[in-house]
Structure 1
């Protein structure tokens, strides 16, 4: 079966939410049930539910890590130090871009609730950038072109190959963390 590893429940939920329904194409799956089980001598977690749009039955099964990773905040990441097996680096960068594009430029004029929301969104965007960096091999200066296995990820890599440079990614991450601090107060 070759189950892919979900390093954390947050990574599993993110992956499932991004997958289109096979019946109607709608993304945004929220499982109604989940349970741990043994699949081919491997501890796994099964998520089941129905598509919210068309009602089609949906199911995802992921391998569970030997040592669970349970982040309390996105700042702690979506998984351990290994690169994701669910989302490729292009998908992580796309997610970071989507989150970060919606953040106000400045905390000026925001309510406390809006500042907290922006802070959390910056946290999630930074965590997604950290996930891209996990695909940079030790001693390399960028993500390998062979690290992209999804059509979406390959398209992003081809359109913006320069964005997968390790130094540029670290610089972007540093800027996001600095912006996050400005929303903390």
Structure 2
């Protein structure tokens, strides 16, 4: 069995939450327990729990980074400098869009709690958009069409190919980071 790498616990949890239950199709899975183990000579983490909708038992197993001393999460994003093996660039862009949609146009008039919530959504959107950028190969002018392996990701790539242009992605990322500074406490 070839296990895909979960670079951080945040990435693993995000991936699991997005995967529909094989029985009822519900998403939003949160494991009840997890354990580290060795699978086929590779350090792995197994997550177990019941589907929140139908109760069917679910299990996910991911390879973890080789450096066991590295933290599971550093709080700055979903993974290191390499592209994700769990979500493709279309899925990351879809997540960024969903996070950015939760952010009001301006922080003016927001309570401190609303400002923190908007800042959190904006930060998550920025982290997701940064994940898309990791799929741009050195010297390439866009994310390769071959980088998309999910149905959802391929559909977004076909419907809005322009959104995966390297210059546009980097510009969008810089713009989002600038907006974040306006929401800072």
In which range does the TM-score fall when normalised by the shorter chain?
over 0.9
Aligned match of 1:29: 29
Q: Is the 8 A contact 2:9 2:73 kept in 1?
A: no
Aligned match of 1:109: 109
Give the paired residue count.
183
Residue 102 of structure 1 and its aligned partner are, at CA, apart by 1.4
SS at the partner of 1:34? strand
Aligned match of 1:83: 83
In structure 1, list runs of 5 or more residues that go unmatched.
none
Question: Equivalent residues in 2 for 1:123-162 (5 A)?
Answer: 123-162=123-162
Aligned match of 1:10: 10
In structure 2, list runs of 5 or more residues that go unmatched.
none
Q: Is the 8 A contact 1:141 1:166 kept in 2?
A: yes
Aligned match of 1:45: 45
**What is the TM-score of this pair, normalised by structure 2?**
0.97
Residue 69 of structure 1 and its aligned partner are, at CA, apart by 4.5
Give a deviation string over 1:14-34, Cα, whole Å, max 9, x none.
000000000000000000010
Give a deviation string over 1:155-175, Cα, whole Å, max 9, x none.
000000000011100111111
Aligned match of 2:175: 175
**What is the TM-score of this pair, normalised by structure 1?**
0.97
CA RMSD of aligned residues (A): 0.9
Q: Is the 8 A contact 1:48 1:60 kept in 2?
A: yes
Give a deviation string over 1:70-118, Cα, whole Å, max 9, x none.
4443xx2200101000000000000000110111000011100110111
